[in-house]
Amino acid sequence: MIPEWVQDILTSKWTWAALALVVAYVLTLVGIVVYTWLERRGAAFIQRRPGPNRRGPYGIVQAVADAVKLATKEDVVPAGANKWLHAVAPMIGMTVALTIIAVIPFSGDFELFGQTFRLQIADMNFGFIFILAISSLAVYGVALGGWSSNNKYSLLGSLRSGAQMISYEISLGLSLVGVLLIYNTVKLDEMVIAQTGAIWHWGVVQAPMAFLIFLTSSYAEANRVPFDLVEADSELVAGFHTEYSSLRFGLFYMGEYVHMAVSAILTVILFFGGWHIPWAEEIFGSAPYVTLFPWLLFGAALVCLVIAWDTSRPRRRVHTRGNLLLAFLLVCVAGSAAALGGLYLAGDVQTEIPWLASICGMLTQVIVLVLKFAFFFWLFIWVRWTLPRFRYDQLMKLGWKVMLPLALLNIGVTGVLVLLGVL
Amino acid sequence: MKAPFPRSIECEQKLDLCAERMILNWGPAHPATHGTLRVILTLEGETIAKCDTEIGYLHRGLEKLAEDWTYNQCVNISDRINYCSVFINNVGWHQACEKLFGIRVPPRATYLRTILSEIARIADHMVCLGPNCVDIGVLTPFWYTWNLRELAYDLLEFVTGARMTTAFTRVGGLAADAPAGFEERVKQEFLPEVYRVMDELDSLLSKNRIFNDRTRGVGALSQEEAVSYGWTGPCLRACGVAYDVRVANPYLAYGDMDFDVPVGEHGDTYDRFFVRVEECRQSARIIEQAFSKLPDGPVNADDKRVVLPAKGDVYGHIEGLIHHFEIVMFGPRAPVGAICYDSVEGANGELGFTIVSNGTNKPYRMHVRSPCFHVFSALPRLVTGRLLADLPAVVASLNIIAGELDL
């Protein structure tokens, strides 16, 4: 069969923790390249303009150019600033956002040579509490960054952020209490397992109010429109990061995207069944994700072909030869994906090589999770370019007079329903 | 209008609870000032306790400069008053000159001036509405309005050769007739887009809850106060006063046109926004009617004192050459001791020019009644006691053009 040492690697929990780390970093740090590109192209799509389309296919290299520009800019520390805090503040925001991802499970349990593994960096039995505890620290980055800059606009921005993040954290935490009551667990993977089966097992159907409050609060926590009072370019120039430049600004900027990514992935895990496809067990048998894997490959091949067709179309764009090369590569990828899918089906991997099949099932789950995550990330962008910004007093009124009572009411109603055995 | 935080500042001072106030210089270089304005705010937390305005950052001495330029050259000064709707300024200046000279402009020129003025008005309103959205935090409508403004500028460039500083009017008419295809371009490219963008703004914003919360009741002014501050134009009409120079004192071809004067109710930011939206629709109606009635004929008055002779005359006869030389080098001479005031409905309100003549080819004194100056004077009244976030929303809805504050 397979050599001993390969089996050792495959059955080491460090292997899968490391792979989870890779997935986490791809979704956050590497993903920033895609997210900034998506934000700019998405904004352009909504605003009826082309957006960045010069460097690379569909302008995707633009994000790299932006990063290089930021990195090579002069790093200015304003006179009278608290130098130490000014330097530390951007790191706090980024670190906090990245830490949360440690407890997020990217796949369900899968079996290899009789042992069970899960794609998760740290399997804590208090995962959910950990998220709430860590995410409250994010306010320090923004508040200290604004305060240490020795700028009145920054100061106003950081004061706003302090008030805003603390107010909305309460409704965020309370909205999740209802979810806890329903799932009866604080472990994120168990929450996803509780949502398997029909689509009405999903958190969004079971606790719609909690979902709305969570979504709104997570927008406020990520300082995104309509809650971007913290930066509010028309009032506060750039809010808390007015005095930041170069990579320190870059860290704040990336921190925002990592925060959005974490919020989006949490929304999926808590309310949209995580890696779970509704009715998958009923339709595809006991191991649905293993069965679905080749079809996922065929789907990917189709998507590659569509993109290849689009890039190879003659149009007035620079890098035409590059586009043709890209189209060729995409066709190759599509061909290999389809061939792999065919091999998987023809070779009957599911019964012949069970360890490979279970890894493939895990990959399917990760991809399902990422697809759902992509929608919620897009929702962030969609909302940003559609809604106006709240005013400070309206924000507080919404947080304390609407969201907080609703979250409390939600706990009461959910509790009664759980007691009655409806949920 | 209730202040967001209803406690009074004096009361707190008595109780010795007042926090330290912060002075914030909002401008002259700030992303939301749309020009070089300076607003000195005394903030108590986020509430504006005191608001002082300072103008003068864009003072170019235009009124003094006019004393050294001939009547036709001064059109370049009018270009730089409200740089968003330049053609209306051109018309305003030369209309006052024509009143001074006692010249009647031929009908084709008045109709073309009407059409171009309304295109410029739409462009100016777009410059107001788009950034107003940005200042409230929603960026997308900005691009919709900016596309329309771009179309308007394309048309102005097509006729006058310049996007912003058109300088297209002359004493007694226009520098040239509109090029062939102008009517088709306006009717096919521009007017449908005007209606579409206005409908889009309506559907995107008029019922948007956050937009309503941010604009309704914000920066409201009563009719009486608006009149006492000398407000004119869309800002005054938003307060409910139906005063429009185009109706009150019909000039150009406005007397023949059928259009409504949109009027607001509360005089707040919301009303100012949607009065401008409705005005753009009315401008489009005016353009349609003006094209249907556009007469043929010359675009310059038949008056040898002010109008250049025909080119054939200039090259063929010594009298024509001298005539041309006199007008180009020295310009037309106004009657001695004449004083006249004439006004047009600028995009921001009544734009008036006072000219005093001493019989030479240059004005003895020129004075501009610029609408923004009067509108801006009410800013402290509008924002004191409100939150900092209301300031950009109000400033943008007043459409303060710094070039009109300082001449």
| Whole-number pLDDT of residue B58 | 85
Judge whether A340 lies within some domain: no
Residue B122 has pLDDT above 90, yes or no: yes
| Whole-number pLDDT of residue B5 | 47
Chain A CB within 8 Å of residue B250 CB? no
Residue B146 has pLDDT above 80, yes or no: yes
Point out the residue among B30, B143, B389 whose CB comes nearest to the CB of A391: B389
In terms of C-beta density within 10 A (0-12 exposed, 13-18 middle, 19 or more buried), how is residue B360 classed? middle
Please indicate whether, in this complex, the C-beta atoms of A235 and B391 are within 8 angstroms of each other.
yes
The one-letter code for the residue type at A292 is L
Summary mean pLDDT of chain B: 87
- Residues in A closer than 8 angstroms to B4, CB to CB, are 391, 393
- Residues in A closer than 8 angstroms to B142, CB to CB, are 47
Answer for the pair A218, A263: CB distance below 8 angstroms, yes or no.
yes
Closest CA relative to residue A179, chosen from A168, A190, A169: A190
pLDDT digits (tens, 9 = 90+) for B310-341: 888 899 999 999 999 988 888 888 888 778 89
Residue B1 has pLDDT above 50, yes or no: no
- Residues in A closer than 8 angstroms to B389, CB to CB, are 229, 232, 235, 389, 391-392
Residue B387 Ramachandran class (φ > 0 left, ψ -120 to 50 alpha, else beta): beta
- Residues in B closer than 8 angstroms to A161, CB to CB, are none
| Whole-number pLDDT of residue B91 | 92
Please indicate whether, in this complex, the C-beta atoms of B139 and A385 are within 8 angstroms of each other.
yes
Closest CA relative to residue B56, chosen from B78, B79, B28: B28
Chain A CB within 8 Å of residue B395 CB? no
Whole-structure pTM value: 0.84
Q: Give me the count of residues in chain B.
A: 407
Of A13-22, B149-158, B177-186, B291-300, the range with the lowest mean pLDDT is: A13-22
Please indicate whether, in this complex, the C-beta atoms of A387 and B210 are within 8 angstroms of each other.
yes
* pLDDT category of residue B3 using cuts at 50, 70 and 90: very low
* pLDDT category of residue B153 using cuts at 50, 70 and 90: very high
Judge whether A330 lies within some domain: no
Location of structure tokens 């500028």: B153
| Whole-number pLDDT of residue B8 | 53
Taken in order of first residue, the domains within chain B and their CATH numbers are 62-404 (1.10.645.10)
Location of structure tokens 């992935």: A265
Which helix (H) or strand (E) covers residue B369, if one does?
Answer: strand B363-369
Sheet holding B363-369, edge to edge: B336-346, B349-358, B363-369
Task: Return the number of CB contacts < 8 Å for A and B.
Answer: 86
Residue B2 has pLDDT above 70, yes or no: no
| Whole-number pLDDT of residue A319 | 55
Judge whether A320 lies within some domain: no
Q: Does the complex come out with an ipTM higher than 0.85?
A: no
Residue B33 has pLDDT above 80, yes or no: no
Closest CA relative to residue B125, chosen from B12, B201, B36, B226: B201
Helix axes A246-271, A31-46, angle to 10 degrees: 80
| Whole-number pLDDT of residue B12 | 52
Four-CA torsion B23, B29, B33, B39, nearest 10 degrees? 30
Judge whether A49 lies within some domain: yes
Chain A CB within 8 Å of residue B11 CB? no
* pLDDT category of residue B111 using cuts at 50, 70 and 90: very high
What's the CA gap between A263 and A222, in Å, rounded?
8
- Return the number of other C-beta atoms located less than 10 Å from residue B151's C-beta: 22
**First vs last C-alpha separation in chain B:** 34
Per the structure, how many domains does chain A have? Answer: 1
Least Cα separation, residue B22 to chain A (angstroms): 8
> Which residues are B51's β-sheet partners?
B41
Least Cα separation, residue B5 to chain A (angstroms): 9
State which residues form the domain around A358. 8-276+347-420
The percent of residues above 90 in pLDDT, for chain B, comes to: 27
Give DSSP secondary structure letters for A99-134.
HHGGG---S--EEETTEEE-S-S---TTHHHHHHHH
Judge whether A283 lies within some domain: no
| Whole-number pLDDT of residue B4 | 44
| Whole-number pLDDT of residue B120 | 92
Contacts of B2 (CB under 8 A, 6+ apart): none
- Residues in B closer than 8 angstroms to A225, CB to CB, are 137-138
| Whole-number pLDDT of residue B154 | 92
Residues of chain A with pLDDT under 50: none
Location of structure tokens 């608006």: B226
Contacts of B336 (CB under 8 A, 6+ apart): B357, B358, B359
Judge whether A264 lies within some domain: yes
| Whole-number pLDDT of residue B152 | 92
* pLDDT category of residue B9 using cuts at 50, 70 and 90: low
Interface test with A, best of B48, B134, B135 (most A CBs within 10 A): B135
Contacts of A375 (CB under 8 A, 6+ apart): none
| Whole-number pLDDT of residue B311 | 87
Preceding amide of B131 cis, omega within 30: no
Judge whether A33 lies within some domain: yes
Please indicate whether, in this complex, the C-beta atoms of B213 and A394 are within 8 angstroms of each other.
yes
What's the CA gap between A55 and B129, in Å, rounded?
33
Answer for the pair A160, A142: CB distance below 8 angstroms, yes or no.
no
Please indicate whether, in this complex, the C-beta atoms of A394 and B214 are within 8 angstroms of each other.
yes
Judge whether A247 lies within some domain: yes
What's the CA gap between A3 and A89, in Å, rounded?
49
